[in-house]
Structure 1
Amino acid sequence: MEQKKIVLAIGGESLSFVPTEVDYNDYINELMPDNKVAPAHNFVFNTAVEESKPAVREIAATNPSAVVQIAAVLMQEFAPALDIKVKK
Protein backbone atom coordinates (compact mmCIF):
# COMPACT_ATOMS: atom_id res chain seq x y z
CA MET A 1 0.00 0.00 0.00
CA GLU A 2 1.41 3.37 -1.03
CA GLN A 3 1.94 5.84 1.78
CA LYS A 4 0.06 9.09 1.46
CA LYS A 5 2.09 12.27 1.93
CA ILE A 6 0.18 15.01 3.70
CA VAL A 7 1.49 18.55 3.23
CA LEU A 8 0.38 21.18 5.73
CA ALA A 9 0.93 24.92 5.42
CA ILE A 10 1.97 26.09 8.89
CA GLY A 11 3.30 29.57 9.55
CA GLY A 12 4.05 30.14 5.88
CA GLU A 13 6.00 26.89 5.53
CA SER A 14 4.97 23.70 3.77
CA LEU A 15 5.60 20.75 6.08
CA SER A 16 5.27 17.15 4.96
CA PHE A 17 4.09 14.14 6.93
CA VAL A 18 3.73 10.49 5.94
CA PRO A 19 1.52 8.73 8.49
CA THR A 20 1.16 4.97 8.27
CA GLU A 21 -1.44 2.62 9.65
CA VAL A 22 1.07 1.64 12.37
CA ASP A 23 1.55 5.32 13.33
CA TYR A 24 -2.22 5.77 13.42
CA ASN A 25 -2.75 2.66 15.56
CA ASP A 26 0.05 3.64 17.96
CA TYR A 27 -1.44 7.12 18.38
CA ILE A 28 -4.95 5.82 19.07
CA ASN A 29 -3.68 3.14 21.46
CA GLU A 30 -1.57 5.64 23.44
CA LEU A 31 -4.40 8.15 23.95
CA MET A 32 -5.74 8.18 27.49
CA PRO A 33 -8.09 10.62 29.23
CA ASP A 34 -5.15 12.14 31.12
CA ASN A 35 -2.51 11.72 28.39
CA LYS A 36 -3.09 13.39 25.03
CA VAL A 37 -0.08 15.64 24.47
CA ALA A 38 2.66 12.97 24.52
CA PRO A 39 0.86 10.70 22.00
CA ALA A 40 0.21 13.72 19.74
CA HIS A 41 3.88 14.73 19.97
CA ASN A 42 5.01 11.18 19.09
CA PHE A 43 2.54 10.95 16.19
CA VAL A 44 3.57 14.30 14.71
CA PHE A 45 7.32 13.69 14.98
CA ASN A 46 7.12 10.04 13.88
CA THR A 47 5.23 11.02 10.73
CA ALA A 48 7.13 14.22 9.80
CA VAL A 49 9.56 13.75 6.93
CA GLU A 50 13.18 14.47 7.88
CA GLU A 51 13.27 17.78 6.00
CA SER A 52 10.24 19.07 7.96
CA LYS A 53 11.36 18.03 11.46
CA PRO A 54 13.48 21.14 12.23
CA ALA A 55 10.54 23.44 11.41
CA VAL A 56 8.14 21.25 13.40
CA ARG A 57 10.53 21.40 16.39
CA GLU A 58 10.65 25.18 16.16
CA ILE A 59 6.87 25.48 15.91
CA ALA A 60 6.41 23.12 18.88
CA ALA A 61 8.95 25.08 20.94
CA THR A 62 7.19 28.40 20.38
CA ASN A 63 3.61 27.12 20.63
CA PRO A 64 3.01 24.39 23.22
CA SER A 65 -0.37 23.39 21.75
CA ALA A 66 0.98 23.09 18.20
CA VAL A 67 1.59 19.33 18.20
CA VAL A 68 -1.97 18.63 19.35
CA GLN A 69 -3.35 20.91 16.62
CA ILE A 70 -1.10 19.37 13.96
CA ALA A 71 -2.02 15.84 15.07
CA ALA A 72 -5.72 16.69 14.82
CA VAL A 73 -5.36 17.93 11.24
CA LEU A 74 -3.23 14.93 10.27
CA MET A 75 -5.84 12.57 11.73
CA GLN A 76 -8.64 14.32 9.83
CA GLU A 77 -6.73 13.88 6.58
CA PHE A 78 -5.41 10.36 7.23
CA ALA A 79 -8.62 8.89 8.64
CA PRO A 80 -11.55 11.08 7.60
CA ALA A 81 -14.74 10.72 9.59
CA LEU A 82 -17.39 8.47 8.12
CA ASP A 83 -20.97 9.62 7.78
CA ILE A 84 -22.65 7.07 10.05
CA LYS A 85 -26.31 7.17 11.04
CA VAL A 86 -28.30 4.79 13.22
CA LYS A 87 -31.25 3.34 11.37
CA LYS A 88 -34.40 2.83 13.33
Structure 2
Amino acid sequence: METANKIVLTIQGRKVTFAPSLDIYNDYINAMMPNNKVAPARNFVMRCVDPEDKDHVRELLDKPGAPIQIAGAIMEQYTPDLQITVGE
Protein backbone atom coordinates (compact mmCIF):
# COMPACT_ATOMS: atom_id res chain seq x y z
CA MET A 1 0.00 0.00 0.00
CA GLU A 2 1.12 3.54 -0.68
CA THR A 3 2.37 5.11 2.52
CA ALA A 4 1.72 8.69 1.40
CA ASN A 5 -2.04 8.18 1.33
CA LYS A 6 -2.53 6.12 4.48
CA ILE A 7 -5.71 6.96 6.34
CA VAL A 8 -6.39 5.42 9.74
CA LEU A 9 -9.99 5.34 10.93
CA THR A 10 -11.26 3.96 14.21
CA ILE A 11 -14.34 1.87 13.43
CA GLN A 12 -16.21 0.13 16.23
CA GLY A 13 -13.22 0.77 18.53
CA ARG A 14 -10.63 -0.75 16.21
CA LYS A 15 -8.07 1.11 14.09
CA VAL A 16 -8.36 0.29 10.40
CA THR A 17 -5.89 1.47 7.76
CA PHE A 18 -6.85 2.47 4.24
CA ALA A 19 -4.67 3.62 1.35
CA PRO A 20 -6.82 5.11 -1.38
CA SER A 21 -5.20 6.02 -4.68
CA LEU A 22 -6.32 8.24 -7.52
CA ASP A 23 -7.23 5.17 -9.60
CA ILE A 24 -9.33 3.67 -6.79
CA TYR A 25 -10.98 7.06 -6.19
CA ASN A 26 -11.76 7.57 -9.89
CA ASP A 27 -13.17 4.05 -10.24
CA TYR A 28 -15.47 4.73 -7.27
CA ILE A 29 -16.75 8.03 -8.64
CA ASN A 30 -17.24 6.57 -12.13
CA ALA A 31 -19.15 3.55 -10.78
CA MET A 32 -21.71 5.56 -8.83
CA MET A 33 -25.08 5.89 -10.50
CA PRO A 34 -28.26 7.50 -9.16
CA ASN A 35 -29.68 4.06 -8.32
CA ASN A 36 -26.41 2.31 -7.42
CA LYS A 37 -24.33 3.65 -4.53
CA VAL A 38 -23.86 0.82 -2.04
CA ALA A 39 -21.97 -1.61 -4.30
CA PRO A 40 -19.49 1.03 -5.53
CA ALA A 41 -18.92 2.19 -1.93
CA ARG A 42 -18.34 -1.38 -0.77
CA ASN A 43 -15.88 -2.00 -3.63
CA PHE A 44 -14.06 1.27 -2.91
CA VAL A 45 -13.63 0.39 0.77
CA MET A 46 -12.42 -3.13 0.04
CA ARG A 47 -9.99 -1.95 -2.66
CA CYS A 48 -8.22 0.50 -0.38
CA VAL A 49 -8.31 -1.31 2.99
CA ASP A 50 -5.03 -2.69 4.32
CA PRO A 51 -4.87 -6.46 3.69
CA GLU A 52 -4.47 -7.08 7.44
CA ASP A 53 -7.83 -5.37 8.08
CA LYS A 54 -9.83 -6.91 5.21
CA ASP A 55 -11.60 -9.62 7.22
CA HIS A 56 -12.68 -7.17 9.92
CA VAL A 57 -13.91 -4.62 7.38
CA ARG A 58 -15.73 -7.28 5.35
CA GLU A 59 -17.79 -8.11 8.46
CA LEU A 60 -18.52 -4.42 9.08
CA LEU A 61 -19.71 -3.91 5.52
CA ASP A 62 -22.61 -6.31 6.11
CA LYS A 63 -24.18 -3.80 8.51
CA PRO A 64 -26.83 -1.48 7.02
CA GLY A 65 -25.31 1.79 5.84
CA ALA A 66 -21.73 0.78 6.70
CA PRO A 67 -20.33 0.87 3.15
CA ILE A 68 -21.57 4.42 2.61
CA GLN A 69 -20.42 5.63 6.06
CA ILE A 70 -16.94 4.14 5.76
CA ALA A 71 -16.47 5.31 2.17
CA GLY A 72 -17.61 8.78 3.21
CA ALA A 73 -15.08 8.94 6.05
CA ILE A 74 -12.27 7.86 3.71
CA MET A 75 -13.32 10.36 1.06
CA GLU A 76 -13.47 13.16 3.62
CA GLN A 77 -9.83 12.52 4.54
CA TYR A 78 -8.59 11.75 1.02
CA THR A 79 -10.05 14.56 -1.05
CA PRO A 80 -8.57 18.04 -0.75
CA ASP A 81 -10.53 20.94 0.62
CA LEU A 82 -10.22 23.27 -2.35
CA GLN A 83 -11.07 26.92 -1.92
CA ILE A 84 -13.24 27.61 -4.96
CA THR A 85 -15.06 30.86 -5.62
CA VAL A 86 -17.17 31.88 -8.56
CA GLY A 87 -16.30 35.21 -10.10
CA GLU A 88 -14.79 37.98 -8.08
Q: TM-score, normalised by structure 1?
A: 0.90
Corresponding residue for residue 86 of structure 2? 86
SS in structure 1 of the partner of residue 61 of structure 2: helix
Instruction: Let me know the Cα RMSD of the aligned residues.
Output: 1.5
Count of aligned pairs: 87
Give identity over the alignment, percent: 46
Corresponding residue for residue 66 of structure 1? 66
Indicate the larger mover: 74-83 or 64-73.
74-83
Indicate the larger mover: 1-10 or 28-37.
1-10
Matched letter for residue 77 of structure 1: Q
What CA distance in whole angstroms lies between the structure 1 residues aligned with 2:15 and 2:50?
Answer: 11
Residue segments in structure 2 that go unaligned for 5+ positions in a row: none
Matched letter for residue 19 of structure 1: P
Q: Give the 4+ runs in structure 1 shifted more than 4 A.
A: none
Shift of 1:81: 3.2
1:13 to 2:19 alignment: no
Write the deviation string for residues 8-36 of structure 1: whole angstroms up to 9, x where unpaired. Answer: 00110000001011000100110111111
What CA distance in whole angstroms lies between the structure 2 residues aligned with 1:75 and 1:32?
Answer: 17
Residues 17, 50 of structure 2: 8 Å contact kept: yes
Q: TM-score, normalised by structure 2?
A: 0.90
SS in structure 2 of the partner of residue 19 of structure 1: coil
Residue segments in structure 1 that go unaligned for 5+ positions in a row: none
